[in-house]
Amino acid sequence: MISLSGKVALVTGGSRGIGAAVAILFAKAGADVAITYLSDRKSAARVKKQIERLGRICLPVRTQASLATSVQRAVAQTVKEFGRIDILINNAGIWKRAPIHTMTEEQWDETIDVNLKGTYLFCKAVLPAMKKKGGKIINIASTAGQRGEAGYSHYAASKGAVIAFTKSIAAELAPMGIHVNCVAPGWVATDMTLPALRSRSTLRTIQRTIPRGRVASPDDIAGPVLFLASHLSDHLVGATLSVNGGGVMNT
């Protein structure tokens, strides 16, 4: 029932983890996909190969999400390659431990710049392409932005801001036919979280906080993102889907 045939999606941070799972699932649904990556060219090439095996086109674009000129270049390359952008997934992000008593200004700025400023830059950059025929924007937040996260206050602040930003621009853009929503994952097994999940005792502790009893895979997050990118979510505006196995339940 869900088809993205004829659609073009831009997935930031699309070379690994959630971004890669989203890009591949979108290709399975019939979309052509541009993915951004910062330094892992090999992973981007692997995603490109998987998407091409599905008979779709993939454009990897090296991009620094916190730099306006780099973001604008990525969007321009996508439009030049495909002629349009129908869907934007703001997934690029970082998660680095920094307790508040030792956090440096540089650590704070880096996280806010990538996670929040990068989301803003991409949303703004795709608007000229989306205003013509409408579109979908899905921002990837986190449960940390809903309840906070000790040791990662800068990350939680950035993701809480992404949720508020999503609601704000959703109201602005809905009259233009651009639907903006958000997905807030809980624990997901990715390269980013591997150091924390490597310890069996830590993993068991985390699993006990999740009613489903397990940490999500990237594919668990990609499914809800696909739903939000499809016509089935057309009456959702400014919503946040909490995809965490029940670990955090918000009204």
Q: How many residues are present in the chain? A: 251
The sign one gets for the Cα dihedral 222, 71, 57, 83 is: positive
- 244/97 Cα distance (integer angstroms): 21
The beta-carbon contacts of 96-101 under 8 Å, at least 24 apart in sequence, are 96/152, 96/155, 97/151, 97/152, 98/151, 98/152, 98/153, 98/154, 99/150, 99/151, 100/153
Catalytic pick among 37, 120, 152, 155: 155
Confirm whether 120 is a catalytic residue.
no
Q: What is the DSSP string of 17-71?
A: HHHHHHHHHHHHTT-EEEEEESS-HHHHHHHHHHHHHTT--EEEEE--TT-HHHH
Report which DSSP code applies to 249.
-
**Catalytically active residues, by annotation:** 155
